[in-house]
């Protein structure tokens, strides 16, 4: 099975909703039924799962 992912394991990413724009690393890609993808992101000792639309490769500056 081939799955096209936008962010590879080890990539540095940022959450669009994070006011501090902390650097996060993709540590896992979770494939769920129906082709739904979730990315596990690590920031220090914290881990969280997010969908592709919540993640950016670049910092997001809200003005």
For CA atoms 18, 20, 21, 24, the dihedral sign is: negative
Taking 80 as the threshold, does the pLDDT of residue 1 lie above it?
no
pLDDT tens digits, 21-58: 999 999 999 998 888 899 999 999 999 999 999 999 99
Calculated CA dihedral for residues 13, 45, 10, 17, nearest 10 degrees: -10
**What 8-state DSSP symbol labels residue 53?**
G
């Amino acid at each position: 099975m081939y799955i096209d992912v936008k962010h590879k394991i080890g990539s540095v990413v940022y959450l669009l909703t994070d006011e501090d724009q902390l650097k996060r690393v993709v540590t896992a890609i979770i494939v769920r039924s129906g082709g739904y993808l979730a990315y596990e992101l690590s920031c220090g000792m914290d881990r969280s799962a997010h969908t592709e639309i919540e993640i950016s490769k670049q910092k997001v500056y809200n003005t």
